[in-house]
A and B are shown apart, each in its own frame.
Chain A
Amino acid sequence: MKIATRQWLRMEMGMVGGVCFFLLVFMLALPGFAQAQEKYPAKSINFVIGYPAGGTTDICARPLVNAASKILGQPVIVVNKPGGGSAVAVALLKTEKPDGYTIGILPSGAVLSQHMRKVPYDSAQDFTPIMQYAVYLYGLVVQSDSPWKTFKEFIDYAKANPGKIRYATAGAGTPQHLVMERLAIEDKIKWTHVPFDGGGPATTALLGGHVEAISQTTEWKKHVESGRLRLLAVYGEKRMIDFPNAPTLLELGYKITAPSLISIIGPKGLPPQVVDTLHGAFKKAMDDPDFIKAGNQMDQPLLYRGPQDLEKHLVQMNQEVGTLIQNLGLRKE
């Protein structure tokens, strides 16, 4: 009897020990739940980026987000939701609660998309603008062992060989896509657009020779510098400082520049004090040396607009590109 009890006890002890161990390991591991607090931000904030990790937008946004996170005193977690030239991420952001715990990037691609096809949002109406912090630079890039040494040679080939040129971008409805469509109209070219999820995968596709060219933001930079790829033209108003030999489209005789915007927005109806907090933090974060370094590295020029300015700018940008795309007849349903 006594022995049995002792054995039972020992078994019981083992069992309790096991349960404790199990609980301990999982308690250590499970995330702590944020207590309800009045002060914003009381828990981590999700930051949605509509392009995959490793693209220009993502590489430059992460140090900004890190710096803002330190200022806000809460983690800001980057969530990549690529697709549709950022339109997927922006559409999802529209459905989030306006509590300030989910914000994201509105890039020019998502603005243009709404004029080129049907998307479930209106970038001028459905969001709370927080801040613009940068613009993109774009270029047309081919492989360096391709026969096209200049932009003109490339265009001449494309004219002479309809359907032969396939170009990749980070998505349908992005400015870099629009530029190619405009070139096609102007020069009566027939070429094929292959949209990828982001500039990284598009660049990889060009490196692998699966497309003939990319029309893209600066993901190609290090490959152009290393000599694997060749930059034929840039879409800004001025030449790029790092690539002074590449002409702008304006110099080449086209009246084409690519519209450009990288801004932070939240769902519609974000409380003003939340916008203030976020705007303050991200504006301060723009001085972060890591962010400035990333901007320089990826050739992403900084451009600041506060919440009110951004709101006005979004309305104006939508009007301008809307009219332009309408006149070109590029809207597809």
Chain B
Amino acid sequence: MDYIQSIILGFQVALQWDNLLFCFIGVLIGTLVGVLPGLGPTAAISLLLPTTFHVTPVSAIIMLAGIYYGAMYGGSTTSILVNIPGEAASVVTCLDGYQMARKGRAGPALGISAFASFIAGTMGVIGLMLIAPPLAEMALKFGPPEYFSLMIMGLTILTFLASGPMWKALLMAAFGLFLGSIGLDSMTASARFTMDIVELSDGIGMVPAVMGLFGIAEVLLNVEHSIKRSVFETKILSLLPTLQDWKDSIWAIFRGTFIGFFLGVLPGGGAVISSFVSYAVEKKVSGSPEKFGTGMIQGVAGPEAANNAATGGAFIPLLTLGIPANSVMAILLGAMMIHGMQPGPMLIQEQPGLFWGAVTSMYIGNAMLLILNLPLIGLWVRILKVPYPILFPLILLFCLIGAYSLNNSVIEVLIMVGFGLLGYLFKKFEYEATPLILALVLGPMLEAALRRSLLLSAGSPLIFVTRPISGVLMLISFILLAYPLVPWLRRKREILPQVSDDE
């Protein structure tokens, strides 16, 4: 594979003016939903998916991807200035970012988070570029048993890293698998759990579920809290971090990038979890862990790097295996199918323009984001001043319109509202919705892979452990599942603080 040629091809695609425009719209909307609490990238991408039906596939993917990584930039702004995470992957940025702002160092905090995001985002894209093509070659070795084991491992990792007891996360994953089995059987087309409701024969749509669980539920919760929000009213003097700041944070950025990228690649990992892991790691390697939470710049740089690197990593399983690593990727999978592309081992060979164009657009997008988030920070601060009584009804309105416009069906709206209430209860009783969504997305694929595997092996489940790749994946899942049962290991899992939703 000739990388240079491929990259040139990619830039030729990404630098076409319409693709540049879509890239810009994507990162702009991404930053916006990142800045706004209560609306994450998943809900935003599902909302905006129908608008991409009329553009070329490359433009569509470029824009939707832009929303995803753009949100990672925007989220930190709100965390630092208001102490409320703009989106879930910026939760930990609140801890030290807001403290920095209170000490009058809002500028360097915003600056380092933008630079960390840029460095990590770019390195994540490079990683994606280097790893995806050889992995796609190897992906042919992935037959149904390997797919099944990989998805099982993804779900296990997600439940393992989830906050709260593992049984709660497993319960949510199981519930998601059940919801995923509603609809027509994928091999025989006979109806399951549809209760003769016509709209259910196509299964529970992921978009209404996501908008309900993450959009509506978030609004309901925030309304109840009636958060007093004070945008930090200091003049942001200089956005550029000092030399000492750089010295303090450069290794945190590299560690965060590494952690984020590899957790991003794993199905079930992703931006939210990697930011928490990065924070925990920074605290551990630091000489003065007790100072974390008082405005340590490493505590901003590491997690911000991690959540951006994770976005690059998350594209790998989608583009090489066709498996979405998280719900954003699942929506992108749907988007690619609508545009006539089947993500999987053959994608890079068959659609080089699309793959390389989308990947190189992420370089350009990251550069755009650096500009959007440093010189134009004032614009986003202004958005933060929109009071919630105006903002939340707007978000609700857009969710309702979005759900209806999917199929012009009221049932979809009802499903979304139902999930909204469900999501609210989940939050109240501290059940995480993320495993549910991933299981809902993976469920049908998981089931098909299971059935095909058992056909291949003439019914013997041993196929999952006797094939080497599948066997290793199964072993990892097993260890993760057994982990909380071993008492002296159990305490270690608690290093991860409260993880909130939305990936």
- Kindly provide the distance from the CB of B379 to the nearest chain A CB, expressed in whole angstroms: 7
- What sequence of 0s and 1s flags, for each residue 325-364 of chain B, a beta carbon within 8 Å of any chain A beta carbon? 0000000000011111110111000100000000000000
Q: Which of A115-123, A125-133, A231-239, A256-264 contacts B (4 or more CB under 8 A)?
A: A115-123
Residues of B within 8 A of A33 (CB): 405
Determine if A36 is an interface residue (Cβ-Cβ < 8 Å). Answer: no
Determine if B401 is an interface residue (Cβ-Cβ < 8 Å). Answer: yes
Residues of A within 8 A of B401 (CB): 30
Q: Which of B45-53, B307-315, B415-423 contacts A (4 or more CB under 8 A)?
A: B45-53
Residues of B within 8 A of A197 (CB): 186, 448
A196 touches which of B189, B337, B383, B452 (Cβ 8 Å)? B452
- Kindly provide the distance from the CB of A267 to the nearest chain B CB, expressed in whole angstroms: 11
Q: A21-B383, A25-B29, A119-B190 are contacts. A204–B344 as well, Cβ < 8 Å? A: yes
A88 to B187, CA, bound (A): 8
Q: Which of B118-126, B139-147, B262-270, B432-440 contacts A (4 or more CB under 8 A)?
A: B139-147
Determine if B188 is an interface residue (Cβ-Cβ < 8 Å). Answer: yes
B187 touches which of A29, A118, A195, A207 (Cβ 8 Å)? A195
Q: A21-B383, A25-B28, A31-B405 are contacts. A54–B341 as well, Cβ < 8 Å? A: yes
A17 to B378, CA, bound (A): 12
A83 touches which of B54, B141, B184 (Cβ 8 Å)? B184
Counting contact residues on chain A (CB < 8 A from B), the size range is 35 or more
Residues of A within 8 A of B448 (CB): 197
Residues of A within 8 A of B341 (CB): 53-54
B456 touches which of A29, A53, A192 (Cβ 8 Å)? A192
A129 to B422, CA, bound (A): 42
Determine if A62 is an interface residue (Cβ-Cβ < 8 Å). Answer: yes
Are A29's CB and B48's CB within 8 A? yes
- What sequence of 0s and 1s flags, for each residue 375-398 of chain B, a beta carbon within 8 Å of any chain A beta carbon? 000010011111100110010001
Residues of B within 8 A of A194 (CB): 144, 452, 455-456
Determine if A87 is an interface residue (Cβ-Cβ < 8 Å). Answer: yes
A90 to B184, CA, bound (A): 11
Complex: chain A residue closest to B198, CB-CB: A95
Are B188's CB and A117's CB within 8 A? yes
Are A84's CB and B184's CB within 8 A? yes
B-side interface residues, number (CB < 8 Å): 57
Q: A22-B32, A192-B458, A201-B344 are contacts. A14–B187 as well, Cβ < 8 Å? A: no
Kindly name the residue among B54, B339, B390, B452 whose own CB sees the greatest number of chain A CB atoms within 10 A. Answer: B452
Are B201's CB and A91's CB within 8 A? yes
Determine if A58 is an interface residue (Cβ-Cβ < 8 Å). Answer: yes
- Kindly provide the distance from the CB of A165 to the nearest chain B CB, expressed in whole angstroms: 12
Determine if A300 is an interface residue (Cβ-Cβ < 8 Å). Answer: no
Q: A78-B338, A204-B344, A208-B143 are contacts. A83–B456 as well, Cβ < 8 Å? A: no
Determine if A172 is an interface residue (Cβ-Cβ < 8 Å). Answer: yes
CB-contacts of B161-187 with A (<8 A): 184-187
Complex: chain B residue closest to A101, CB-CB: B408
Determine if A305 is an interface residue (Cβ-Cβ < 8 Å). Answer: no
Determine if B202 is an interface residue (Cβ-Cβ < 8 Å). Answer: yes
B184 touches which of A14, A28, A92 (Cβ 8 Å)? A92
Determine if A210 is an interface residue (Cβ-Cβ < 8 Å). Answer: yes
Determine if B191 is an interface residue (Cβ-Cβ < 8 Å). Answer: yes
CB-contacts of B28-45 with A (<8 A): 28-29, 32, 36
Determine if A106 is an interface residue (Cβ-Cβ < 8 Å). Answer: no
A118 touches which of B47, B190, B350, B391 (Cβ 8 Å)? B190
A192 touches which of B142, B198, B384, B455 (Cβ 8 Å)? B455
Are B345's CB and A113's CB within 8 A? no
Kindly name the residue among B189, B338, B390 whose own CB sees the greatest number of chain A CB atoms within 10 A. Answer: B189
A78 to B51, CA, bound (A): 14
B residues apposed to A, CB below 8 Å: 25, 28-29, 32, 36, 47-48, 50-51, 53-54, 140-144, 184-191, 198, 201-202, 336-342, 344-346, 350, 379, 382-387, 390-391, 394, 398, 401-402, 405, 448, 452, 455-456, 458
Could you list 21 examples of A-B contacts with CB < 8 Å?
A: A22-B386, A26-B398, A28-B25, A29-B48, A53-B336, A53-B337, A54-B350, A83-B185, A83-B186, A84-B186, A88-B189, A113-B189, A171-B187, A172-B187, A192-B456, A197-B448, A204-B140, A204-B344, A205-B143, A210-B456, A211-B456
The 9 closest A-B pairs by CB, nearest first: A210-B143, A87-B189, A54-B342, A84-B189, A208-B140, A83-B186, A18-B386, A53-B342, A95-B198
